[in-house]
Structure 1
Amino acid sequence: MRRQARRLAERTPPQRERHVDLLRAVAIVAVVVGHWLAIYVTHDSRGFQGGNILRVVPWARPLTWPFQVMPLFFLVGGFANAASLTSHLRRGGSSTDWVLGRAARLLRPTTTLLGGLAVAAATAGLLGADPALIGVAVWLASIPLWFLVAYIAVVVLTPPMYALHRRAGLAVPIVLAVLVGVGDLTRLALAVPYVGKANFLLAWLAVHQLGFAWQDGRLPSRRSVAAPMTVAGFTALVLLTVVGPYPVSMVGFEGERVQNTSPPTLALLALAVTQAGIALWTRDRGNRWMRRPGPWTVVVAVNSVIMTLFLWHMTAVVIGVPALYGTAVMPDATPGSGLWLLLRIPWLAFLALILALLVAVFGRFEQRAGSRTAPAAPVRGVLPAALTVAGIVAVIAALLGLALAGSGYHGPVGLPVGMVAAYAGGVAVLGLVRRRYARPARD
């Protein structure tokens, strides 16, 4: 993997916006570390107990501001998707085959995760493991699917949303932010059910659109733009949380009446504007640093397995908890205490080791997807486009169903069989379209 990353780094085109790749790598690492730090575990005669540290340690909640970097991930995703789509269309490709290529890169590592969880759950069942414990383990390991549902949705909507961006520019994310505010109002002030659920899509679309504007220069990387943007976003964030009705924590946890991520709120959008301003502000310095072979090779290596890192990082927790706490290697400590904080060092180190092993085993599937080629002849026509949409809808619905399934026991493979079948059907349809209507060529 190291040799491959070095080769990819050496072949990087000089015009590539390397700062975007750096930000993507930083964002995913921050998400992984943040999730690991947010977990507390105890073990006694009743078995394993635990939860989110934010629920029991209030002083930790402001620390979620630097660790909640999903807005940054959607921002750089918008930049990368806009650049990729425009380049693809310029070479004569179609929106349909672009979506097929993008979906393949996301779904191959996802399929690997689901297959791995199914095999692990079935094996644990055959070995006599408690079904309830299997259910909890699979549920924990599949938590990353929440994010994937939203990200696949915005990726698939990139062609029409980018066309809208070409016409209306920054008015699009502004309107989307207003709609997020309306959703907050109906949900929090008027207690209207379900309307605010649209924010799961509207908020992330708004951040994704900012990435479009950054890519084509409508949101320039100048200090005169970046500094006011950062200050305005941070000021709004403080006012909305410290003074306003939104919680300080940018990560939701059980028992919190209002959560900033479920669904996303105006406060989370304020954080997104702050992060976007910082991203613009640091662009030149980031690009200069990425001209150095060493750091750039590391960033290339992380990005080559970025979905694997994200999708498997909670599986590392599922393995690490019984290995450390079940064997009493890791002593119990009061969450938030000095000893607990000190023990975060070996906890992170052990989970990082497990994740590195998982990536070494499963990362090759993502790398193969990344090296796969897009259609040589553009996929055109109503039928392949309709089949592509149908396949994507099936995949998103299945992943949402899996994310909502909860921690109960769902049968021998640990996952709801109906949702797995729907996911497999959607992936099969997308594969059929690629094989039937596309000939491979390098993208």
Structure 2
Amino acid sequence: MSHLGDTAARPLRVVQAMAREVRRLAERTPPQRERHVDFLRAIAIVAVVLGHWLAVYVTHDKAFQGGSILDVVSWTRWLTWLFQVMPLFFLVGGFANAASFTSHRRRGGNATGWVLGRTARLLRPTTILLGGLAVAAAVARIFGAEPALIGVAVWVASIPLWFLVAYIAVVVLTPPMHALHRRTGLAVPVVLAALVGGGDLARLVLAVPYVGEANFLLAWLAVHQLGFAWQDGRLPSRRSVPVAMAAAGLIALVLLTVVGPYPVSMVELAGGKVQNTSPPTLALLALALTQVGIALWARDRANRWLRGPGPWTVVVAVNSVIMTLFLWHMAAVVIGVGAFYGPNVMPAAAPGSALWLLLRIPWLVFLALILALLVVVFGPFEQRRGPRADPVGAVRGKAAAALTIAGVGAVLAGLFGLTQAGPRYHGPVGLPVGVLIAYFSGVAVLGYVRWRHSRPTHEGDRADIS
């Protein structure tokens, strides 16, 4: 009996430990920290999770079927202007990466050491997700689940990985792009936006194949560079400037979508000839400009509000497990579909109908409970910081730099392969074995270099939640 009681109490101890860590981070926050950046990141992750959960529709007559509500109910596409917040992630990522890299260089570190440390914080929870999906797929197959169903479930759960391909790429490019920013400032995002426009022109008007694929990197780099400019003060924060940016972005967005050739939806639609995210377009950059203007306009008010211990502790709590929330929120959908629709707990309703909209309330509550449980299980892996967790200082030598580049390349190749795998069944672990080998090989190489060159993490670094 005592063993059962100890097992039942274990989740409570985990939650208590996580709460203590959050309180410690909140109390140790330096007074000069730009709290609004962390607030924007927290708001963005909530918008992403809610947007994905609300967009899912499921029917269950003789078999599960489903898709995105955006594909079948046209008025919902306008809501993507609110829920497409990936530009905010790249904006605050640029701010945080610039601050982190500048601090790292000030302490005597170099680009290789910084990339190793920064990618470690992204890859720890990602590796846990991929390992968890592989184990879950194998167990499901052992217990007789249909291969096609496993393929779809793993594909849905791994949807968030596309973001990491772009974000890890801009992280790795931060050292040279930050150097370019220091020399030329806001000219960099302007040129990048012009290149995005050129890619759109070549792809949509001149029908030049493949040229638009560069926009996957160019567009997100442009927004990331705006984060650099915000961090060092080159992006004006006087109230008139953010208002002008937001207004210009919104006007451009309306003209490009309502009058121009771009779709209203800022999320990919099934069968659409033109997509605003695949690859990113000028219309998406117009939305990004609008969001940047609003973010800068709200900065002073938000920072004053976040000085209160209550709001700031909530923001710290979300940021301390933000990768876990992001990576596992679609796995919560997979579990929720099986639990809610499998035994017919959720009544049948036509997508977009009044009943369907009403049923979004219990659906969101149920998924939130599932995700909370997943965070309790997997969140500690993200929060964990060992005494030699991340490199601090310089990592010298051409061999270390070459291994770091090779490791990152293998990781990106693996993640990209996973995003292209589709909903087919790919074998016993549910995912293509070749791309898993590429990913885990890259993680192993980066881990080896990090281990060889790391030193104990300073307490100040451990308090950093960005």
1:381 aligns with 2:360: no
Residue in 1 that maps onto 2:33:
16
Alignment RMSD: 1.1
C-alpha displacement of 1:441: 2.8
Residue in 2 that maps onto 1:79:
95
Residue in 2 that maps onto 1:406:
422
Partners of 1:92 and 1:61 lie apart in 2 by 48
Residue in 1 that maps onto 2:24:
7
Q: 1:241 aligns with which of 257, 264, 273?
A: 257
Residue in 1 that maps onto 2:304:
288
C-alpha displacement of 1:3: 2.1
C-alpha displacement of 1:86: 0.3
C-alpha displacement of 1:203: 0.3
Residue in 1 that maps onto 2:440:
424
C-alpha displacement of 1:253: 1.7
Residue in 1 that maps onto 2:232:
216
Q: Identity of counterpart residues, as a percentage? A: 78
Deviation sequence 1:248-293 (CA, Å, 0-9, x none): 0001121211110001000000000000000100000110111010
1:334 aligns with 2:345: no
Partners of 1:138 and 1:370 lie apart in 2 by 31
1:41 aligns with 2:58: yes
C-alpha displacement of 1:373: 3.9
Partners of 2:212 and 2:393 lie apart in 1 by 42
- 1:377–1:34 Cα change, 3 Å: closer
The 5 Å alignment of 1:317-332 reads 317-332=333-348
Partners of 1:11 and 1:438 lie apart in 2 by 24
Cα contact 1:180–1:199 (8 A) shared by 2: yes
Q: 2:215 aligns with which of 199, 203, 210?
A: 199
Residue in 1 that maps onto 2:185:
169
Partners of 1:91 and 1:225 lie apart in 2 by 34
Partners of 1:369 and 1:324 lie apart in 2 by 36
Unaligned residue ranges in structure 2 (runs of 5+): 1-17, 462-466
Cα contact 2:388–2:454 (8 A) shared by 1: no
- 1:51–1:91 Cα change, 3 Å: same
- 1:370–1:86 Cα change, 3 Å: farther
TM-score, scaled to structure 1: 0.98
Cα contact 2:216–2:280 (8 A) shared by 1: yes
C-alpha displacement of 1:414: 0.4
1:29 aligns with 2:46: yes
The 5 Å alignment of 1:360-379 reads 360-369=376-385, 373-379=389-395
C-alpha displacement of 1:375: 2.8
Partners of 1:325 and 1:360 lie apart in 2 by 24
Residue in 2 that maps onto 1:150:
166
C-alpha displacement of 1:225: 1.1
Residue in 1 that maps onto 2:289:
273
Residue in 1 that maps onto 2:9:
none
C-alpha displacement of 1:369: 4.8
Cα contact 1:132–1:408 (8 A) shared by 2: yes
Corresponding letter in the other structure for 2:98: A
Cα contact 1:304–1:370 (8 A) shared by 2: no
Deviation sequence 1:235-258 (CA, Å, 0-9, x none): 000000011000000011212111
Q: 1:440 aligns with which of 444, 456, 461?
A: 456
Cα contact 1:61–1:249 (8 A) shared by 2: yes
TM-score, scaled to structure 2: 0.94
Unaligned residue ranges in structure 1 (runs of 5+): none
C-alpha displacement of 1:374: 3.2
Cα contact 2:44–2:88 (8 A) shared by 1: yes
Deviation sequence 1:321-356 (CA, Å, 0-9, x none): 011111111011111111110000001110010000
C-alpha displacement of 1:20: 0.3
Partners of 1:373 and 1:132 lie apart in 2 by 39
Partners of 2:270 and 2:385 lie apart in 1 by 36
SS in 2 for 1:50: strand
C-alpha displacement of 1:372: 5.8
Q: 1:115 aligns with which of 117, 127, 131?
A: 131
Partners of 1:50 and 1:370 lie apart in 2 by 42
Corresponding letter in the other structure for 1:98: W
Q: 2:156 aligns with which of 140, 153, 164?
A: 140
Partners of 2:185 and 2:447 lie apart in 1 by 34
Partners of 1:69 and 1:375 lie apart in 2 by 31
Partners of 1:318 and 1:267 lie apart in 2 by 32
Corresponding letter in the other structure for 2:85: V
Partners of 2:397 and 2:185 lie apart in 1 by 29
Cα contact 2:252–2:283 (8 A) shared by 1: yes
Cα contact 2:157–2:331 (8 A) shared by 1: yes
SS in 1 for 2:379: helix
Residue in 2 that maps onto 1:256:
272
SS in 1 for 2:359: helix
